[in-house]
Chain A
Amino acid sequence: MHTNIILSGVGGQGILTIATVLDTAALSQNLYIKQSEVHGMSQRGGAVQSHVRISDSEIFSDLIPLGKADIILSVEPMELLRYIPYLKKGGWLVTDSNAFVNIVNYPEKHDLFKQIKSHKNHIILNATEEAKKLGNSKVANIILLGATSSLIPLSEESILNAIKKLFNHKSEKIIKLNIEAFETGKQLAKGFTEFVY
């Protein structure tokens, strides 16, 4: 078993939270994990990515080779497409439909969705909107994690425990909100047929 996941987004959008949950869950299942992340200059509103590798045998490279990612999970649609060269044949794309526009030449959203939909295995959700419905737009990342969870070889129990552990120092309310977000994402992915824009 060897699963490679690229997490992508813009600095400050919370992809490292997703990464930490995956890392913690994988370690609790005695699996091997490697997860590279971006610190420094790019974190200032630039494109950021994290490579997450989960395996039942030793992992060598901290970076996923091109063409070997099973999943690209993005909190931003254009940032998803930036990592297409990493996607394995038949790999999955999961993304928030909500665009983060902090540049003047941001492409037409319709064109982005058209590109994403040209890959058969995709899930596009308006996770930011769904997060707002839950009362906090910040949990969009956990909604997306929930939406991806069935594609990741980790038990739901270990992921939920990892979420609890991560937010342990915060209030009971925050933990509950994140678990709710995870459930919401899971259900939305189950019911996902086509993204209409």
Chain B
Amino acid sequence: MKNLVLGNEALAKGAINAGLSGVYAYPGTPSTEITEYIQKSKVAKELGIHSSWSVNEKTAMEAALGMSYAGKRAMVVMKHVGLNVASDVFMNMAVSGINGGLVVVVADDPSMHSSQNEQDSRFYGKFAMVPILEPANQQDAYNFMHYAFNLSEELKLPILLRMVTRLSHSRTGVVFKERRKQNGIQLPVNSKRFALIPAYAKEQYKKLVDKKSDLIKSSENSILNKLTLSDDKSLGIIACGIAYNYVMENIGENDSFYSILKISQYPLPKEKVKALYQHCDEILVVEEGYPIVEELLHNYFDENDKIKGRLSGDLPMTGELNPNIVGQASGFFQDKVRNIPEIVVGRPPQLCEGCGHTDLFKAINALIPEIGEKKVFGDIGCYALGALPPLNTINTLIDMGASITMAKGAADAGLENAIAIIGDSTFTHSGMTGLLDAVYENTPITVIISDNSAVAMTGAQDSSALGRLKNICLGIGVDPNHLIMMTPLKKNHNKNVDVIRKELKYKGVSVIISQRPCVRLSREKKEEIKQKIAALN
């Protein structure tokens, strides 16, 4: 029987059935539903699989490594930019190696549907010298989890599994297989390798470099990298991950006429690539993301005109692929298509009606004539929409936590009235450390924590910050006289403007907690939050 699931859900189910003991993650589009599926799964609950959210991707990955150290299978899940946050542990656990199987699932967002860049996680896999798996479809996503845990335990390395938005958020019927048992606790035979002092690290690093031939051998023999050579030699196609679907969509029933190498496991199987290269007159590389495979081909075979892809201009350098772009590049017939009628105008996303962020922004906007423009440093979350008209409040948005630290740097430069706006969950994710920097020097900035008691943008998941913000700020050393609570409501507008104005005048660190639950939360959830806050304070 087929089960109707998203790519993300297929992957999650695959992990449960592959003997997972714990998932660690911080929400981030397009990866969120993987962890949510396990949180909602009755089976996972019965099996005691850990699935609570972590404070950020780094803490998540470290906890997953700890579970692996104890001998059990762990998975850590994040969006592509989350891997930047976790990159410290990611690079180093490749050196130490793992004990129980460990799979790092990273969902890339080409075309930046909900992100600030379109970095390609395969580069990280290459950088850390670990195997990468790249499913093409939802059934692959399910099947690959079992394969990934086996490969991880066989090579004693973490495996990077790369998803992309269109696979994560596309539904289809998937066949589930039997579930295998979890591992028991079994500490590593050689625990020295986890203590990366230089003497041990040098030894481990050499082992990692020496493993490269095993990794390539595994890729060469992998059933996930399928080479089909046909009699027609005009065009050979290397199709990576989801790009395979777009190639097949165009080829349709003529698939026996084309030579295709489907890549779903890296490092690249060089011999298979060579076989295709030598067999065909021209090679088209179709990959979602950066031209990483195309570049490698140029390395293998010298620069030449035989290789087509993003670098050659046959496919665009930016944005995600689709069946039409791939159809054009591979020379298949392309119908003329209609244009969007001119009267259609853009409809960008906007803050929900009644959202507390809006009331906060209006209060700040009221102060702009006094304090001057371009002094509001923003962060990642729903409130980033405050960078758009009609509010136009926020001036910067770079990465998780950058509001506080950028405001600090600007204040260090002599800028007055620097304001940082950060959400509650983003604050605990990456804002606390920056706040300590500012407190340490008593930098004149005003930090506004726009606290809606949820990780709202990704679907209102629980925030680790809930009920703890005040104590965290006091603990960090914020002056209690400049730790102010306010409620962002229309009726409080004048009062809130005064509060912010007063704190802007203070030549030191002020923190204003602007607190009102997300309007998307259900009444029951809001009640639950109220009780939790009361219990904590």
Contacts and interface: CB of A to CB of B under 8 A. Distances in A.
Interface of A: 10-11, 19, 23-24, 27, 32-47, 59-67, 78-79, 81-82, 84-87, 102-108, 111-112, 115
Given A60-B245, A62-B167, A67 B344 contact: no
B350 A44 contact: yes
A7 to B, nearest CB: 12
A190 B96 CA distance: 68
B169 A37 contact: yes
B284 to A, nearest CB: 17
Contact of A61 (B32, B246, B350): B246
Given A33-B173, A44-B351, A45-B352, A65 B344 contact: no
Contacts of B459: 39
A84 B323 contact: no
A107 B4 contact: no
B246 A60 contact: yes
Question: Which 7 residue pairs of A and B lie closest in terms of their CB atoms, listed nearest first?
Answer: A40-B114, A40-B29, A46-B349, A62-B170, A61-B249, A60-B248, A65-B323
30 contacts: A11-B349, A19-B171, A32-B173, A33-B4, A34-B170, A34-B172, A36-B170, A37-B169, A37-B170, A39-B29, A40-B29, A40-B114, A42-B114, A44-B385, A45-B347, A45-B352, A47-B347, A60-B244, A62-B245, A63-B166, A66-B324, A66-B337, A67-B335, A81-B341, A85-B340, A86-B337, A102-B347, A104-B390, A107-B343, A108-B343
B249 A81 contact: no
A106 B345 contact: yes
A91 B86 CA distance: 48
A41 B169 contact: no
B34 to A, nearest CB: 12
Contacts of A104: 390
Interface of B: 2, 4, 6, 29-30, 32-33, 113-114, 137, 166-167, 169-173, 242, 244-246, 248-249, 322-324, 327, 335-341, 343-352, 382, 385, 390, 457-459
A65 B4 contact: no
Contacts of A65: 249, 322-324, 327
Contacts of B246: 60-61, 63
A78 B171 contact: no
B223 to A, nearest CB: 18
Contact of B343 (A38, A79, A111): A111
Contact of B337 (A62, A67, A115): A67
Nearest to A41: B114
A47 B340 CA distance: 14
Contacts of A38: 113, 169
Contacts of B171: 19, 23, 33-37
Contact of A103 (B248, B249, B339, B347): B347
Nearest to A26: B173
Nearest to B166: A62
Contact of B338 (A24, A87, A108): A87
Contacts of A61: 245-246, 248-249, 322-323
Nearest to A87: B338
Contacts of B343: 78, 81, 107-108, 111-112, 115
A24 B113 contact: no
Contacts of A36: 166, 169-171
Given A65-B323, A67-B337, A46 B350 contact: yes
Contacts of B352: 44-45
Contact of B345 (A40, A42, A103): A103
Contacts of B113: 38, 40-42
B118 to A, nearest CB: 14
A44 B349 contact: yes
Residue of A27, A44, A82, A112 with most partner-chain B CB within 10 A: A44
Nearest to B247: A60
Residue of A10, A40, A66, A78 with most partner-chain B CB within 10 A: A40
A89 to B, nearest CB: 8
